[in-house]
Amino acid sequence: VTAIAPHEFDLRSLPDAFYEDPFPTYRRLRTETPILELPGGGDLLTRHRDLVEVYKNSRTFSSDKCAQFAPAFGEGSPLYEHHTTSLVFNDPPLHTKVRRAIGNVLSNRMVEVMRGDVESLVEEILHSLEGQSSFDLIADFASAIPVEIIGNMLLIPKEERAPLRRWSLAILGSLEVGLDEAGLKHGNESVREFLAFLEEFVGRRRDSLS
């Protein structure tokens, strides 16, 4: 597989050969241009020590994306509000506050508690696929796992989980390079629907506990 030259590397239009074997390209980038300015905006880092420096030096390298997301989503839009308040796109103190809020749920102890449920889920999905002549590994197997895990963590009834994957794909898909108007509209609608669902669901949970 021929490596893509650094000046030709564009996340918006990668050839099929890259997906089949990206490592020759990564090696060339790491050797020739370890810090590459991307045509669509942003920089691609391929050297481990550079990544460690960026990760550790939050004073110089910020995770805050308000400036980038405002023109992309529209300041105050559902997608803008969602992404700019998430854990991954924030620096302390907001990052610390959000991390503490979810820390107990994602602790090593809680992950270990979930192990049995996840193993049972995998077995259940594999059993449902047994006997089929073919199946899509992502659509029929992998995509069901995070939806069920999140549903279990939030105690969402199984019969109400169907929209979760659709919402998550639209919301996270808005971060992809080359977002069009249809994707932007779908992403904003998905945030609204998800928030409305959570508000109603949390209200029911509170009523049941009172």
Domains of the chain, by residue range, sit at 6-56, 66-209
**Per-residue confidence (pLDDT) for residue 94, from 0 to 100:** 87
Return left, alpha or beta for 42; rule: phi > 0 is left, psi -120 to 50 is alpha, else beta: left
**Per-residue confidence (pLDDT) for residue 59, from 0 to 100:** 84
Give the predicted TM-score (pTM) of the model. 0.78
Contacts of 154 (CB under 8 A, 6+ apart): 201
HEC per residue, the chain: CCCCCHHHCCCCCCCHHHHHCCHHHHHHHHHHCCEEECCCCCEEECCHHHHHHHHHCCCCCCCCCHHHHHHHHCCCCHHHHHHHCCCCCCCCCHHHHHHHHHHCCCCHHHHHHHHHHHHHHHHHHHHHHCCCCCCCHHHHHHCHHHHHHHHHHHCCCHHHCHHHHHHHHHHHHCCCCCCCHHHHHHHHHHHHHHHHHHHHHHHHHHHHHC
Per-residue pLDDT of the chain (210 residues; tens, 9 = 90+): 789 999 999 988 899 999 999 999 999 999 999 999 998 778 999 999 999 999 899 889 999 999 989 999 999 999 999 999 999 998 888 888 988 988 888 889 998 999 999 999 999 999 999 999 999 999 899 988 998 999 998 899 999 999 999 999 999 999 987 789 999 999 999 999 999 999 999 999 999 988
Interatomic CA distance for residues 151 and 168, integer angstroms: 13
Contacts of 159 (CB under 8 A, 6+ apart): none
Q: Report domain 66-209's class.
A: mainly alpha
Phi, psi of 44 (to 5 degrees): -110, 120
**Per-residue confidence (pLDDT) for residue 106, from 0 to 100:** 85
**Per-residue confidence (pLDDT) for residue 40, from 0 to 100:** 73
Tell me whether the omega of the peptide bond preceding residue 93 falls within 30 degrees of 0, making it cis: yes
b/e for 157-172, b at 16 or more Cβ within 10 A? Answer: eeeebeebbebbebbe
**Per-residue confidence (pLDDT) for residue 98, from 0 to 100:** 87
**Per-residue confidence (pLDDT) for residue 119, from 0 to 100:** 96
**What are the distances in angstroms from CA 75 to CA 82, 99, 208?**
11, 24, 37
